[in-house]
Amino acid sequence: MGMILAKREQHGWLRSFLILDRVSLLPTVWSNCLAGWLLSGGGRPKTFLVLWVGVTCLYLGGLMLNNAWDAPDAKHYRERLGAAGDVPAETAGLWSLGWCGLGALFMVSLGTSTAVLTVVLLGCLTLYHMVYRLAIFSPVLRAICRFLLYLLAGSAAVTGLAGLTIWSGLALGFYVLGFSYLAYPEDASIMRRYWPAYLLASPFLLAWIVNGSGYRRTTLWLTLALVAWILWCLRLAFWAAHRNPTRAACRLSAGIILVDMLALDGGSFGLGAVFALWFVTTLVLQHFAPAS
């Protein structure tokens, strides 16, 4: 924590924003957005650009809302911008309203179903930031938000929501639920158990159901890559000499992009390159902006 505060003083408010506001998760949001959109048939690049900008604004608004809620707890959450006093609660709240309002405007332009899902997503984001310190409930809301992001992106696609989009969103939601519970090591009733790790297998289960015996080589390699990544991350939580479940959850959050790649069955070479770039970018940014 001392190192974080020292960096904040050295680099100023903008640097603190990039370091502490979990910007590293932004590529995973873009990944969810692209996967949900393509699974529902995709469409015009212009439509996706509007969707991408809108989702980015909503995410940034959610981050500022988090800082606004942290502000009253300066003694307990000094590592967060709002709690440290760098951004007053009123300022963070105004920025949050601005970003969320701008994002909502972009989403409303994409149709009625997208607008309705945006309202539901904003409601879940608000509720999450109200109860996120409650380890029992906040991971569920975080998973629901990711599921809704898939639905929102799918609703903006040319064919609207598709069954595979919904199931893929559910699989991702369970994956997020699994690593989110790992991020609460101070709760003895949740940690020191292996059950959250089982939820991480949901993308494999869906891939097996969808492909059956007709597994493509690309799907197999993506499955093996995701399995290897999950085991490598879980090592930090359960088998390392100095266990660090929070760091494990942080690394597993980058795996969201691999889950999206598996849902799309790899896609084209160019598409795979985009996801790979986002994955690497997330890992690099996590050195500056912890995801958990």
What whole-number distance in Å separates Cα of residue 97 and Cα of residue 62? 9
What whole-number distance in Å separates Cα of residue 290 and Cα of residue 292? 6
Nearest to 106 by CA among 40, 148, 153: 153
Residue 173 lies in a domain: yes
CATH code assigned at 169: 1.10.357.140
Residue 145 structural domain? 2-285
218 CB neighbour count, 10 Å cutoff: 15
Task: Let me know: does 195 contact 189? Beta carbons within 8 Å.
Answer: no
| Amino acid identity, position 196 | P
Tens of pLDDT along the chain (292 residues)?
444 444 444 445 555 555 545 688 999 999 999 999 999 999 999 999 999 999 999 998 887 776 656 555 544 444 444 444 455 666 667 777 888 999 999 999 999 999 999 999 999 988 887 776 665 788 899 999 999 999 999 999 999 998 899 999 999 999 999 998 887 655 544 445 688 899 999 999 998 888 765 667 888 889 999 999 999 999 998 888 888 888 899 999 999 999 999 999 877 889 999 999 999 999 998 877 665 5
Write down the pLDDT at residue 88.
Answer: 60
Written as six digits, the tokens of 196 are: 């959250």
Q: What is the pTM of this model?
A: 0.86
CA torsion angle for 246, 118, 162, 33 (degrees, to 10)? -50
Residue 27 lies in a domain: yes
Write down the pLDDT at residue 137.
Answer: 80
Task: Let me know: does 151 contact 172? Beta carbons within 8 Å.
Answer: no
Q: How far is CA 289 from CA 68, 76, 143, 250, 281, in A?
A: 18, 19, 20, 10, 12
Question: Number of folded domains in the chain?
Answer: 1
Q: What counts of helices (H) and strands (E) characterise the chain?
A: 14, 0
What whole-number distance in Å separates Cα of residue 29 and Cα of residue 23? 10
Counting Cα atoms < 13 Å in the Cβ hemisphere of 109 gives 15
Residue 292 lies in a domain: no
10 CB neighbour count, 10 Å cutoff: 9
What whole-number distance in Å separates Cα of residue 288 and Cα of residue 130? 25
Residue 7 lies in a domain: yes
Q: How far is CA 127 from CA 22, 84, 99, 171, 272, in A?
A: 19, 22, 17, 22, 34
What whole-number distance in Å separates Cα of residue 198 and Cα of residue 178? 7
Residue 280 lies in a domain: yes
Written as six digits, the tokens of 92 are: 């963070």
Residue 219 lies in a domain: yes
